[in-house]
Structure 1
Amino acid sequence: MKRLSRRHVLAAGSIGATAALAGTAACSDPGADGADAGELDPSADVTISIGDQPTEDKPDQRAAFDERIGEFEAAYDNITVEPSTEMWEAQTFQAKLAGGTLPTVMGVSLTYSYELIENGQLPDMTPYLEELDLVADLNPLALDNVKDADGSIYSIPTGLFSVGIAYNRAIFEQAGLDPDTPPATWDDVRAFAKQIKENVPDVTPYAQLTTNNTGGWMLTTMTYSNGGRVQDDAGAEAVMGQETIDALQVLHDMRWTDDTMGREFLYDQEALRQAFAGGTIGMALQAPDCYFTVVKDYGFDPASYGQGQLPQGGAGNNGTLTGGTLKLFDAKATANQLLAAARWVKFYDFEKYYDEAVALADAESAAADNSPVGLPGLPPVSQDVYDRYLTWIEPHINVPLEQFAGYTASTLQLIAEPPAATQQTYAALDPVVQQILTDEGADIAQAVADANTAVQAIIDQAAR
């Protein structure tokens, strides 16, 4: 088993580990002998399956995805691609991983990196990435989170994010708030929500994610904003304290004292974004990719979208949660399949960063399809490579960047997700948030104490 150093490298830390994964079964391609079987032959005929194909209810995105597959197969006539609509879902991932039903490559949360490597559930991708000359220009902070202690690379980070606050600029204006000034503190959030309630009574001033692990995810984020942690840096101890109590107290007071959280308290990511796009939510904790979803998928007016940094509590300037996406490769795939899958990732996710013509074509196509171009975020490539890319696509950037100024100007510390059994930790915290929002008399301190006990049991189980 490969062991990882517990270096915490993404500002305050490395991207954390995920839920403990039962069993050692790998992903897909039943019958494959694994990457150690056979010599690597880049020209050999090979078939791979790739996940994340848009579903049929998104015909434009699906057509664009399929077109890229055609271009890829034309460029590499020895590779046959079988697309799959399989996408990562926290609630089903472990079972599908153990059942061997996942594609050769697909995107999953970066929180899975450490646990999968430690469990021997990822192939060593170092030789394939070196073969494709893909290592040197990747974002080094992200790359360190998919390595073991020996420096071997097991995945490819393709996206990074940090959590901020999304807000509806039109609702701000209706409420008499400055749409160019997002809330900087949790006191601001409460005050802004009260003003929205008073002046725009038919909307929910502030909404909170609470289900499908997102409640724990955002409670962790709020804990960070107050200067606390959910686990210690080693992922050995649950350490929620006053900072988590304070986070829950804010939610309790907004729900029960201020009445500024509406009547819906069972939001997952999709449901909240749909409601936001419908113009019924004033503010919610989100990363900037929320803009893509609400504008592209749900028709939200770009002029009404605003993004600020994560509101801070306590003394302020405490930090925000960061995470991302990685490409999961099938540990049972052959060497030729792994090389082909890595080649697909380089083609689909990274080619635009290295080829100006591809960057321009991609930007032009996205703009023509009314997809966001130039959305702010943390790049998967080095800053020099990313800056060059932005100069290439500048004529086609259609995202109102000035409406993200409160986010892009942030200097908050980026804090990694809890390093042990991340998704299980989040799942254990979902009901804590739900309890506070549905039981006015809930004992917050006791709820946090009970949560520490539950998370500690999860940590201990993951360490066995």
Structure 2
Amino acid sequence: MTKRVRSVAAVIALGGLSVAALAGCSSPSTGTTDGKVSIQIGDRPSADRPEDRAYFDKRVEAFQQANPDITLEPVETSYDASTFQALSAGGSLPTVMSVPLTEPAGLIKRGQAADLTDVLKDEGLLDSLNPTVLKLAENSEGRAYAIPTNAYSFGLVYNRELFTKAGLDPDSPPATWDEVRAAAKKIHDATGAAGFSILTTANTGGWQFSGMTYSFGGTVENEDGSQATFDDKPSTQALQLISDMRWKDGTMPENTLYDIPTQGQDFAAGKIGMIIGASDSYYNIVQNLKLPADSFGIGGMPQAKADEGTLGGGTVQIVDPKASAEQQAAAVKWVKFFYLQRYLDETTAVDDAKASNEAGSVTGLPGLPVVNSDQYSTYFDWIADYINVPSANFTSYLDASASIPVVAEPVNNAQEVYGALDTVVQTVLTDQDADIPSLLSTAQTDVQSRLSR
């Protein structure tokens, strides 16, 4: 939902580039001449980000030295929902570029991404990718049309110190919403801190509420984004839980207007026991707001019953369907080299981790992997000497990531959907007698009118 902006080097450490604004485009290079292939690669950082641009260009140079038969033409073109369709129709997309993880289903349906299944097999990548994440880039027949390079999914971020004070096991966070409710009560009774909190403003309330709806087995839009779908039992159950914890249990904060910074401040100060977040919440809460690293814990997204779903997002790489077979192969080689090599090659992994550690950066932060669990485990074995985060505190999250289905964010007008749901969540937290079915019905009518435009 939010764009986590860091340097290229830092984002690459998580498996992908951040998506910059569209800065320019040109027609893709022609394909193959004299046994050599030329491709355009999108997402080159703009000149106002000199360090990121220099890093990108250095990797381009290294790739071309290792692959002298491939010429890379970097361009600044990157994904922008307002311009992508025009670029695609005009044949002006780069050969390979980043798009959000919400997009593959629509791109596949419109024929705007190449089928990469066979190329991924030939490159030895298909079996190395995380099947849970790759599924979001596949069609109904299991053919892969994009390569995941960065992913996150919601989990339950919690304060391990408050868990201990409340008599809870910090190594066994709640796995169901009933367990969350019970743990919140224990935290509040033992420490006076709010047991649980949800975001509510700047579209983040709707974002997290959508994630809760997924975890109750529901959705907020149908697959193609033509129909709002949250006026149903799962959304009602999620809202009722929030209402009960606020008004019956008294375990949610009196402050009902949280955004990410303000909630993070209260969490880091020990005023909140549990929040919804992803593993990279660590950057804000520990690195920036100075919660002791050993107090940071994260488990899987609580479920109403086993393996309903968790909201996920991230970045995938697509290849222009007009690209030749040789260009597709070259594009996949570039993606493997630039985004995934650290997970597949020990020397690259160690060199990058050592440089990150020596620079004082967070190194070895676990998250939702884009490679399979065996490869991810091997990666952490390679970099063990340079990890500077409490890896054991992420075990529950990683275990859950292997079983809970990842459900992408809404594909159509997600921010408008989230904004409408912000109001619903705020009302439930400020009005003890809020009519939940009526709130959802009104919001759904509002959202549907936007989706139908």
TM-score (structure 1 length as normaliser): 0.72
What secondary structure does 1:76 align onto?
helix
Q: Partner of 1:379 in structure 2? A: 369
How many residues end up aligned between the 2 structures?
419
Q: Separation in 1 of the partners of 2:408 and 2:166? A: 35
Contact 2:39 2:331 in 1 (8 A): no
1:435 alignment partner, one of 418, 427, 431? 427
Of 215-224 and 253-262, more deviation after overlay is shown by: 253-262
Alignment of 1:193 with 2:184, yes or no, is yes
CA contact under 8 A between 2:173 and 2:299: conserved in structure 1?
yes
SS at match of 1:50: coil
Q: Distance in 2 between matches of 1:176 and 1:133?
A: 48
Displacement after TM superposition at 1:283 (Å): 1.1
1:33 to 27, 31, 36: 27
Residue identity opposite 1:317 in structure 2 = A
Partner of 2:356: 366
- What one-letter code is carried by the residue in structure 1 that aligns with 2:200? T
What is the correspondence of 1:181-330 to structure 2 with a 5 Å cutoff? Answer: 181-201=172-192, 204-231=194-221, 238=229, 240-269=231-260, 272-273=263-264, 275-313=266-304, 316-327=305-316
Kept in 2, the 8 Å contact 1:329–1:338? The answer is no
User: 61, 82, 94: which is aligned to 1:95?
Assistant: 82
Aligned to 1:350: 340
418, 440, 443: which one aligns with 1:451: 443
Counterpart AA for 2:345? D
C-alpha separation in 2, matches of 1:434 and 1:54 = 41
Aligned mates of 1:106, 1:271 — CA distance in 2: 34
Secondary structure, counterpart of 2:394 in structure 1:
helix
Q: In structure 2, how many angstroms separate the alpha carbons of the residues matched to 1:177 and 1:334?
A: 55
- Report SS of the residue matched to 2:370: coil
Residues 370-394 of structure 1: per-residue CA shift (max 9 Å, x gap): 4444433332223443343333233
Query: Hey, what does 2:392 align to over in structure 1?
Result: 402
Indicate how the Cα distance of structure 1 residues 99 and 350 shifts in structure 2: closer, same or farther if over 3 A, else same. same
TM-score scaled by length of structure 2: 0.73
How far residue 142 of structure 1 moved from its aligned partner, in angstroms, is 3.2
Deviation at 1:248, TM superposition (A): 0.9
Tell me the amino acid that sits aligned with residue 325 of structure 1: G
The one of the two structures with greater contact order (alpha-carbon pairs below 8 A, sep at least 6) is: 1
Q: CA RMSD in A?
A: 4.3
When residues 390 and 422 of structure 1 are mapped into structure 2, their CA distance, relative to the original with a 3 A threshold, is: farther
For the pair 1:70 / 2:58, whether they are aligned, the reply is: yes
Provide, for residues 264-291 of structure 1, a one-character-per-residue CA deviation record: whole Å limited to 9, x for no partner: 4344445544553454432101122222
**CA distance in structure 1 between the partners assigned to 2:375 and 2:406 by the alignment:** 24
Paired residue for 1:13? none
* Aligned counterpart, 2:43: 50
Distance, in Å, in 2 between the alignment partners of 1:417 and 1:351 is 25
Output the CA distance in 2 between the equivalents of 1:296 and 1:63.
Answer: 21
> Offset of 1:306 from its aligned partner?
0.8
How far apart are residue 126 of structure 1 and its match? 7.0
132 and 43 in structure 1: CA distance in 2 versus 1, 3 angstrom threshold: farther
CA distance 1:50–1:342, shift in 2 (3 Å): farther
Paired with 1:55 and 1:259, the residues of 2 have a C-alpha distance of 48
**1:151-185 CA-partner distances (Å, limit 9, x unpaired):** 77543211333322001122334445443342333
User: How far apart in 2 are the matches of 1:99 and 1:277?
Assistant: 45
1:352 and 1:191 mapped to 2: Cα distance?
Answer: 41
1:103–1:284 Cα change, 3 Å: farther
Aligned partner of 1:448: which letter?
Answer: L
Read off the aligned partner of 2:136 and give its amino acid letter: N
Shift of 1:444: 0.7
Q: Are residues 1:161 and 2:152 paired? A: yes
Change over 3 Å in CA distance of 1:75–1:225 after alignment to 2 = closer
* 8 Å Cα contact 1:296-1:371 kept in structure 2: no
Percent identity (aligned): 35
**1:355 corresponds to which letter in structure 2?**
D
Q: Amino acid of the residue matched to residue 404 of structure 2?
A: Q
Summarize deviations over 1:188-214 as a string: whole Å, max 9, x none. Answer: 43343344444544x544221234443
Output the amino acid matched with 1:365. A
Residue segments in structure 2 that go unaligned for 5+ positions in a row: 1-20, 66-70
- The letter for the 1-side match of 2:337 is F
Distance 1:204 1:331, change over 3 A: farther
Q: Distance in 1 between matches of 2:295 and 2:329?
A: 44
Structure 1 pair 370–431 and aligned structure 2 pair: CA distance change class (3 A): same
Paired residue secondary structure (1:366): helix
